[in-house]
Amino acid sequence: MVKSMISNYNYKTKNYFVATFVTTYALWFAGAYLSFQDGKNGLYMLLMLPGLMAPFLISLVMIYGSKNSDLKTDFINRLTNLRLIQPKMLPVFLLIMPLSVLASIIISLPLGGSISQFQFAEGFSFSTGFVPVLLLLLLAAGFEELGWRGYAFDSLQSQHTYFKASIIFSILWSFWHFPLIFVNNSYQYEIIHQNIWYGVNFFVSIIPMGMIISWICIKNRRSIPAAIVFHFLVNISQEILNISQTTKCIETVVLIIVAAIIITYDKELFFSKKNLHQRSTNDEKSQ
């Protein structure tokens, strides 16, 4: 535990991540088993959805069980105050993913990629039982970021520089998805059975993506809706075009380059030891 700038609240980082991983893994491995048993009923989603909600629900337990009014107020403000979103950042977080996808397709063309990748996909690359895929993509962005930005990332940033916190979070976020490779018809299950390296690429790609989402959030004064919108754009950008898995491997390299550019551009933010909450408080006072 370590003290933060919010009324000396001690973030319970280990407790949060252990509880989140244990809950999600238990539900998702059970759901994975059921996904091969219930035919086309999709009942396994009754276990998958609570697992998806675990980061958010455990954040609520941590925040409202803390008995710290400042922590609660801070969470509500970051969730409901849309004025935290910086208009000058809108072009950045609306265009990073679409442009990264288009750049990846262009790079793939001389390497044998098909120009048909610029066409809209005829459908989604995976199925989700009785839950519409588009709705699931939105729910994933919402419930994950409500948890990751509600408690998880702040708890890491209270102990580390923004750079180190981003790296640790992104690696943990990648491992959090691990049970999905065992869920019948899931995106992770489908690609790892096409080629194991496609599966490896998925988990590697999460790391630069996690750093970019964290940066988007902090540049919008820790706005949770900003993180949700960007996360949803990430999800839909992977599905809207007929992009191949080989091109998605190229996309991972593009995202690593984008993350490196962001870190270089904003190195004072990434390597400052100033507490995240103090910085945000000062930002808001200056508005």
72-91 per-position pLDDT tens digit: 999 999 999 999 999 999 99
220-256 per-position pLDDT tens digit: 999 999 999 999 999 999 999 999 999 999 999 999 9
Q: Is the pLDDT of residue 283 over 70?
A: no
Closest CA to 121 of 232, 247, 240, 244: 240
Q: How far is CA 115 from the centre of its chain?
A: 29
Place of tokens 């993506």: 209
Mark whether 177 is an active-site residue: yes
143-186 per-position pLDDT tens digit: 999 999 999 999 999 899 999 999 999 999 999 999 999 999 89
Residue 3 backbone phi and psi in degrees, to 5: -75, 140
Q: Which residues pair with 283 in a beta bridge?
A: none
Distance CA 91, CA 82 (A): 16
Domain count, the chain: 1
Catalytic residue (one of 122, 144, 231, 251): 144
Burial of 52-79, coded b for 16+ CB within 10 Å and e otherwise, reads bbbbbbbbbebbeebebeebeebbebbb
193-207 per-position pLDDT tens digit: 999 999 999 999 999
pLDDT of residue 49: 95
Catalytic residue (one of 122, 160, 177, 251): 177
Distance CA 170, CA 163 (A): 11
Closest CA to 74 of 164, 166, 5, 160: 5
Distance CA 273, CA 195 (A): 42
Percent of the chain residues topping a pLDDT of 70: 91
Distance CA 57, CA 184 (A): 25
How far CA 24 is from CA of 27, 37, 66, 128, in Å, comes to: 5, 20, 22, 17
Its domain, for residue 133, covers 2-286
pTM (global) more than 0.75: yes
Read off the tokens for 88.
């000058």
Mark whether 144 is an active-site residue: yes
